Structure 1
């Protein structure tokens, strides 16, 4: 059955009616999942296999039949490992129906269907008894319910229910134990993702609103590939602390808990950020360990396993605290059933034994709800700000009437500070408008920028007090943008506002260019690579399901990824493949571009990276992609503020690097759809 649903187009701003089907949602879920990444994680699979074999052996040594409960079975891989290790029967629970169907196909293909029962339910709905889902309680509990924060996927409630209802007392658990580690650091880079910093404009100082500086921030964890954050970017103020452990072989509680670690400060500084990760002991002795520690903790960083399904966590303290070397400190972690949060106390300020546990962070200033963490980093980027200020300084006059079109942007504030006669600003939401109002009030500029909560298509001359716009400006940044070219919404806004512009109006940025480079990824390719066989088991049914999902309606599209977290090498030079002239209205006819880039470096070409560069004026450019020239070896340095587009080749192409082969490309921008169609091939030159 086909249905149609309305969706806001992030480029044109219009409401598009899109053909749907009952299968669409789960196809997208599968296509965007990390199942391939997990199956390619040999370190994870190996440690699980070792732990399962050891647990099965311990139960057999007691003379018992081995009955396994596998919660969150996914592909059924861990259940098949248990059967291979000698288990007598497995109950494999998977709540996601398409995944349960794939698991059924996989266990059948590997000859385990008689000894593995797939149960398509949430584990808390599973029953035990003659007429239940399970005939008896299990004596081995296998789970993979973890996320970057360890407990964010509901591991604690699931374990709690399993111990009460589904497993025997004294059962063996794989993993046996999880331990959470944390380290207090000072980091200008990381802190810039949490708080708005003051900025100098024309000799004046723009300060953040007090409500923002005093706000505890967003409660959600910041999960990143911490291996890509150089140790030079932070200063450890304390040792690596063991915060708490959870023993999964015993009853588990999902109730609120807090744990503290006392230590003497290693150096003086500002306590701002907590870096955190966890590891899994697969057996009671702790001899089989799967760790999420970042690569720079390894004696040989290149030996660290890569995974995207489990990363590391960054927690921002509610307020930064001055710390002196040798000072006695207490770092406290609290958790409910789904999330963690941290706080820092000095022994000289209060007794950690009697202090009340800190409340879960909650944004009270609205800025942390309007601006994402990368957006905070972008607003705090001094070099980027100076580029925009320089551009504004070069075009503004005493009689300039400015209109800002971006979400939660400080450009209108800068325009006023530089001396524009009148500044208007369009905001897409009331909350965003209120945040900018706070900035204006904190700097005694209330009323100096007129904020309008109205769409560009609805703006009239009366809204502008009869003024005509002489400078239309944008970063451009829009909260609805996912892919780099979604910011072309600025172009559609400019077109809608054409009747309100002076004949010689300045458009800032004046143009934008779409750039591409063909790359070899160090690791990111794994998320889209077929698995075929995993630890000796045939999982092609999973590959087939993922491929069907990728082929579902949107198969030939790029994906958004923050490439600063995912190292890659350029195998071609970078080039601008398409130009968008904002000084003119959006054309009615499509814009097309074709060409080819010789493969000048050896490697496996996994795909192309795509990004936008904004030409604010003729001589000032801001890149949302590469921020440094590509090195001789092909190393790329990417902006941390925006996600880039990645178009994966399936399969990857081999490059000899002699320039005889080239990546041919074809791009077509469809103005009516606001979409860029792209196609790539490899050809000899």
Structure 2
């Protein structure tokens, strides 16, 4: 394949202000500047993975032990080609790579076209473009005699997610053993073992058991009324999470226990199950299972990599390393209030795995779960929300604030026409329940008919009639008076929350402002808009773990990777024209963190007026000495004109993501009067472009 070859691929692009998506054709030409790829790869975890020194060293050591002579090595999910280059180098030990290439072969299989393009550049920089053969296909599309000349003797791979199985490890290995590998092949890794631990944690409980939390609330709003708990809960799956940060809020109720072994060197089964009898080490209520995995990379069992939390240090092979975001621990929520256990009691746990996930059942929960599955009419109305969204809906302070502003508004309006502009189930129910004369139109751009079915299901419990609520069945670019039955809108409200958009940058929720603008012609003159404005806020942060995980790459185990930095959105050492992208992160989950400044307002978004471009500037005074790695950005939503109710989504709030901008180079800062010197302030300028929904910031330290 010539270096000037051109490929075409399709990419799904979403307009952050409208929610509309479209497939666009991307021309992938080798002569295309790197920057053209940046939107495709900058938000991925490739960079974080490549910065994981512990992972890289473990793979190098295992490959050096395994690839000791010329043979055929197959690398599945090759990424930048790092493991392929390691294998080629190990094969050529004692001589040049070129001299052994006629006897040995390294095949790099990578299905993602933008990454294939990047791999070619990495191989070229390292002089291995003729040594490693790239195949741009899924591994299950490869055929011996067509794509590869013979079955491979050794498989090297890194197709693991935080749960282990989520990237298709089992079907990939099955096909490889059936079609691509010799009998009794060698593999790197050799085996993976999953572990778990029972924990008690109020925080984790609040992320899934909205039913019992609401039962204690005093506001009479019932998102999950008794008797239909199964229609509104977090999906039963393992959720990746950095558990170290909440370890002090956890009570360990068992020792770590082994769950499953998965051998890479032989064909795995599609499914499996095991019965575990876990001894409780303390009295308490088990709210969750925290799980992780340990990778044995070599046959002898001397090279390991673990995703265990830091409190696990009883075995050296399970000990945790530095913070990284590409692999976290996983959390499995135990349904309802949790499982009460007594010290020395044996808890019966049933663990099951299929091709892509691991799940758990406790004996005491099986019967209840089976009974719940019988009511198919309820299951048809099932809504699945993220743990963070359920945490928000169960938060007493948030609920109190929202209800306070709604009650104040409804006192001012008689028989109001209210439009819920987003996907807020809570606001729709609250307005309908608090005002028996209101008419509510919920746009539900993401929930649509599913949201309407759910509102019908909970109507009786919340004391409203569905003849006062309607959900628009079809998405329309602009509503007319026909849609509102010839009546002007008295109240336009949102959280804002858009279903399926939990991981977006904060300012992408300014979609509410765009929706408000599209409704301008049908708003009454004295319409009340909530939130009435948004405030972009910022704080200078010390984020050493996050910065290290995203910093520029140079050599990785002897291979030059500097060519990937711009494409993968690295920070540190880049030209100004190639600054790192904004990252959507929950700052409290970013390892070691420290606020270095006061919190400052940067600019305001006035929702009482149609959407427009705006800009602002803030003088951020440093209050703590330290190393500044970047700054966090978020929007606080001002609900009422009196500024009495403000919903903050800042770093102190666990249920929202902030936007993080990492600096090109860390800056030494010191507060006023600090003897250690350093910069004492930062000027931050920001501008918002309504045509693209993009926020642009510039900063200077002094």
Is TM > 0.5 for Structure 1 vs Structure 2?
yes
Q: Distance in 2 between matches of 1:39 and 1:277?
A: 20
Ranges in structure 2 where 5+ consecutive residues have no aligned partner: 1-5, 29-34, 93-99, 672-676
CA offset at residue 578 of structure 1? Answer: 0.9
Matches within 5 A, 1:89-100: 89-95=104-110, 96-100=112-116
Determine the structure 1 residue equivalent to 2:78.
73
SS in 1 for 2:609: coil
Kept in 1, the 8 Å contact 2:630–2:661? The answer is yes
Structure 2 vs 1, CA of residues 669 and 122 (structure 1 numbering), >3 Å: closer, same or farther?
closer
Q: Does 1:154 align with 2:159?
A: no
Distance in 2 of aligned mates of 1:386 and 1:600: 32
Query: By how many angstroms is 1:148 displaced?
Result: 1.0
Task: Within 5 Å, give how 1:448-527 maps onto structure 2.
Answer: 449-453=468-472, 458-460=478-480, 464=484, 469-479=489-499, 481=501, 482-498=504-520, 500-527=522-549
Alpha-carbon contact 2:324-2:549 (below 8 Å) kept:
no
**C-alpha distance in 2 between matches for 1:309 and 1:147:** 8
1:387 is paired with a residue of what secondary structure?
Answer: helix
Is 1:310 aligned to 2:327, yes or no? yes
**Post-superposition shift, 1:182?**
1.8
1:39 aligned residue? 50
Cα distance in structure 2, aligned partners of 1:122 and 1:16: 26
Distance in 2 between residues matched to 1:19 and 1:425, nearest whole Å: 33
Specify which of 577, 588, 601 is matched with residue 564 of structure 1.
588
Aligned match of 2:31: none
1:506–1:126 distance in 2 versus 1, CA, 3 Å: closer
Query: CA offset at residue 184 of structure 1?
Result: 3.1
Q: Distance in 2 between matches of 1:263 and 1:17?
A: 50
Do residues 249 (structure 1) and 234 (structure 2) align? no
- Indicate the SS of the match to 2:597: coil
2:295 counterpart (261, 280, 298): 280
Write the distance in 2 (CA, Å) between the matches of 1:557 and 1:27.
Answer: 9
Q: Indicate yes or no: 2:224 matched with 1:208.
A: yes
Cα 1:107–1:472 shift into 2, 3 Å: closer
1:200/1:215 Cα in 2 relative to 1: closer, same or farther (>3 Å)?
Answer: closer
2:460 counterpart residue number? 441
Aligned pair 1:581/2:606, yes or no? yes
Could you tell me which residue of structure 2 aligns to residue 125 of structure 1? 141
**Counterpart Cα distance in 2 of 1:136 and 1:465:** 69
**Alpha-carbon distance change, 15 to 384 in structure 1, aligned in 2, over 3 angstroms:** closer
Distance 2:412 2:614 in 1: 38
- State the distance in 2 between where 1:297 and 1:194 align: 25
Size of the alignment, in residue pairs? 652
What is the CA distance between 1:30 and its match in structure 2?
Answer: 2.1
The 1:112–1:433 alpha-carbon spacing in structure 2 relative to 1, beyond 3 Å, is same
Matches of 2:669 and 2:217 in 1, distance apart? 48
Counterparts in 2 of 1:76-115, with a 5 A limit? 76-86=81-91, 89-95=104-110, 96-113=112-129, 115=131
1:284-363 matches, within 5 Å, as: 284-298=299-313, 304-317=321-334, 322-325=339-342, 326-346=344-364
Answering whether residue 657 of structure 2 is matched by residue 606 of structure 1, we say no
Other-structure match for 2:16: 10
Q: 1-side partners of 2:429 and 2:41: how far apart?
A: 43
Give, in angstroms, the shift of residue 178 of structure 1.
Answer: 0.3
Contact 2:433 2:463 in 1 (8 A): no
The corresponding residue for 1:432 is 451
Residue in 2 aligned with 1:633?
none
Structure-2 separation of matches of 1:399 and 1:166 = 70
Matches within 5 A, 1:160-179: 160-179=174-193
Establish whether residue 667 from structure 1 lines up as the match of residue 694 from structure 2.
no
Aligned counterparts of 2:359 and 2:272: Cα–Cα separation in 1: 11
Q: How far off its partner does 1:291 sit?
A: 0.4
- CA-based RMSD of the aligned residues comes to 4.1
The 8 Å contact of residues 605 and 614 in structure 2, kept in 1 or not, is answered as: no
| Distance in 1 of aligned mates of 2:661 and 2:49 | 21
Question: What does the per-residue CA deviation read over 1:344-384, in whole Å, with 9 as the maximum and x for residues that have no partner?
Answer: 1159989xxxx9xx99xxx9355543x22221111111111
Question: TM-score, length-normalised on structure 2?
Answer: 0.81
> In the alignment, what sits opposite 1:50?
61
Deviates more, 1:616-625 or 1:156-165: 616-625
Residues 196 and 379, structure 1, Cα contact 8 Å, conserved in 2: yes
Deviation at 1:517, TM superposition (A): 1.9
Deviations 1:386-441 (A, max 9, x none): 11122233343185425133313312322344446314141321112222332323
CA contact (8 A) 1:387 1:620 kept: no
Q: What residue in structure 2 maps to residue 381 of structure 1?
A: 395
Contact 2:649–2:656 (CA<8 Å) still a contact in 1? Answer: yes
Determine the C-alpha separation between the residues in 2 that align with 1:346 and 1:661: 59
Residues 273, 315 of structure 1: 8 Å contact kept: yes
Q: CA deviation at 1:244?
A: 0.9
Q: Show CA shifts across 1:469-509 (max 9, x none).
A: 54433222223652212322333444444555554443332
TM-score (norm 1): 0.83
Are 1:679 and 2:679 matched, yes or no?
no
